[in-house]
Chains A and B, each alone.
Chain A
């Protein structure tokens, strides 16, 4: 079998596997079915690509997402037609919103049955249009090599995103001599590189004159791997750096210039810094409403420089003074040589005073075992070196607030669509991508149960993630909102949970319980000493609210601390 050749007569299934190999993909996450069996039969002959059997296609989608984010490369997942494909949709929407390069390969009924309501036929590409960067229903075997290659190219280049390949069953089997092209060009698709040099000059002028500048670093910095350039810019000019949720880790959070995360549950001082700054340098972020608060009250006194690869993000939400359409890394590389130290000492002194008076990142000092303590303890035990994958809700915000991320690509969260159930499968994908790293899945007791079935795959493949269930007996974030905004009328917020340690044990994964800070210390130490997956059920205080908070409709200036 010619496993990595670029030409010769091959089946559709082989072609896909060959492209996977060319693209350096060594793992694929999925579940087989009638329409994709010929693809599985091809995969059978490619032991270099390890298949991980997910227990739900959504799980497979999030595993590929985690894998892609951790490697900054394309992740791949696969399903059968119909229900397999529709089970992917939630993960596609998340990857689309969060710009994650995932290639979805779904089986489709054979060509002759398309359009006949055949068994397990769903118009999968019709469904995936709004939640993918591009999709294809491949009906001609001769076009398959180019199309698969193009899918990888589009997923990874420019602003990354999910690309969906819907492959009829008989196309997996059909054969062709058509070669896999080395290079892909797509007319009508030219991702930007560095920004316009005139604009970069203007940005430099503003930066050099600024008295109260801030940098907001977003996901784009991580995607373009611009963290070194970001650090040069911040240190050279002396500018405080704030990150979005997806930017966490792009700038060392223990660095004196780091001001943590901003937004709805951002650090008080970060939000105030943005409110009061005179120059806002936004790099690779999209002015999401969870970041800006009320837009009309956002950074009211600031000139705005916005660097983003996607022209559609420029002036989508706010007017900018210097719009730069460009890749973060390439643009900063041009910007850094023409900026110099600015007179920001007074501003930095002011901010550090603000921070010491409003230490948002410090958990309350109490004997109670608070959710914040759980995160802080994982931070301490792992020496800040763990990769953390958070689910959605309070746990997500605390995981970002109470751990100081000093390394890029060490905190992952599906912030754009906020799909509960993300953390467990995504953590599995991260661990598969980074087998030597310590990987923690931090999840609420609610979200954990959305993809809890993947514990079976954790056990089967002995994926050594540490699962920390932040068990507060509630859909915590829902409880918080109902308490604050619906006069405490809790409706659908309470959870009747099974003992999660026993659930884990039933799957063959060691399960521990921690009810106090001391027990948590012990459990974390024990979990880290076990060479393999472990689950800890952290029974934390039930009624803790996640603060600071910018209430819906309020501006960052109105950040509430307690």
Chain B
């Protein structure tokens, strides 16, 4: 769960398309570290293009500092595209698995609370309920807040993955460039 400090921070959400080569994840995280950018979450996986991995990185900070971050990432030879999607309408999703304490006969209560969050019960024990939730990081935070009333025994989160909403499915290079043009033509709002 987020600390007090983390809750007060402004974050930027970036998508990177990178060559699927050994060491690229290290290079990306090292650039961010040595330029002083804190990573809130980072997730990597395949993209629609063979040989190209896609990363969603949430970093602390906004504005000109993030512009600099973007440029530093571009300097990595393996980085093909960097998109700062912070200001875009986008789909943010994260998966969390939480083992919640069911002690004191609270299992039923937990199960029905989970329903309200669209969380799924994936395991059940004598004194615990394990839920899986796929939602925006914000909804996950709210779910965890609720769960912490019962007691969180174990938690794992994937980190957020994101995609901009737009006419084109996916977020290939073209679609974002197009979306960007649309944004500018509409005076910077989407």
Chain A positions within 8 Å of B, measured between CB atoms, are 125-126, 129-130, 133-134, 137, 154, 186-189, 310-312, 314-316
- Which residues of B have CB within 8 Å of A315? 64, 67-68
A144 CB to closest chain B CB (Å) equals 15
A154 engages B77 (CB within 8 Å) = yes
B75 engages A188 (CB within 8 Å) = no
A311 engages B71 (CB within 8 Å) = yes
B34 engages A188 (CB within 8 Å) = no
A127 CB to closest chain B CB (Å) equals 11
Instruction: Closest B residue to A134 by CB, please name it.
Output: B77
A316 engages B26 (CB within 8 Å) = no
B72 on the interface (CB 8 Å rule)?
yes
A311 engages B77 (CB within 8 Å) = no
B77 engages A188 (CB within 8 Å) = yes
Instruction: Closest B residue to A315 by CB, please name it.
Output: B64
A129 engages B30 (CB within 8 Å) = yes
The 10 closest A-B pairs by CB, nearest first: A312-B71, A188-B80, A134-B77, A189-B77, A311-B71, A129-B30, A130-B34, A312-B72, A312-B75, A129-B27
Chain B positions within 8 Å of A, measured between CB atoms, are 19, 22-23, 26-27, 30, 34, 64, 67-68, 71-72, 74-75, 77-80
A186 engages B77 (CB within 8 Å) = yes
Instruction: Closest A residue to B71 by CB, please name it.
Output: A312
- Which residues of B have CB within 8 Å of A125? 23
- Which residues of A have CB within 8 Å of B77? 133-134, 154, 186, 188-189
A188 engages B23 (CB within 8 Å) = no
B79 engages A188 (CB within 8 Å) = yes
- Which residues of A have CB within 8 Å of B26? 126, 129
B27 engages A312 (CB within 8 Å) = no
A316 engages B78 (CB within 8 Å) = no
Q: Report the bound CA distance from A315 to B65 in whole Å.
A: 10
- Which residues of B have CB within 8 Å of A126? 26
A187 engages B80 (CB within 8 Å) = yes
B75 engages A310 (CB within 8 Å) = yes
Instruction: Closest A residue to B22 by CB, please name it.
Output: A137
B74 engages A312 (CB within 8 Å) = yes
- Which residues of B have CB within 8 Å of A314? 71
Instruction: Closest B residue to A135 by CB, please name it.
Output: B23
- Which residues of B have CB within 8 Å of A154? 77
- Which residues of B have CB within 8 Å of A134? 77
- Which residues of B have CB within 8 Å of A312? 68, 71-72, 74-75
Return 5 A-B CB contacts under 8 Å, by A number. A129-B26, A137-B23, A312-B72, A312-B75, A314-B71
- Which residues of A have CB within 8 Å of B72? 312
List 11 additional A-B contacts (Cβ < 8 Å) besides A311-B71, A312-B75.
Answer: A125-B23, A129-B26, A129-B30, A134-B77, A154-B77, A186-B77, A187-B19, A187-B80, A188-B78, A188-B80, A312-B72
- Which residues of A have CB within 8 Å of B68? 312, 315-316
- Which residues of A have CB within 8 Å of B79? 188
- Which residues of B have CB within 8 Å of A129? 23, 26-27, 30
Instruction: Closest A residue to B72 by CB, please name it.
Output: A312
A188 engages B64 (CB within 8 Å) = no
Q: Report the bound CA distance from A126 to B78 in whole Å.
A: 16
Q: Report the bound CA distance from A312 to B26 in whole Å.
A: 20
Which of A129, A134, A312 neighbours the largest number of chain B CB atoms within 10 Å of its CB?
A: A312
Q: Report the bound CA distance from A133 to B26 in whole Å.
A: 14
Q: Report the bound CA distance from A133 to B77 in whole Å.
A: 8
- Which residues of B have CB within 8 Å of A130? 30, 34
- Which residues of B have CB within 8 Å of A311? 71, 74
- Which residues of A have CB within 8 Å of B80? 187-188
Instruction: Closest B residue to A189 by CB, please name it.
Output: B77
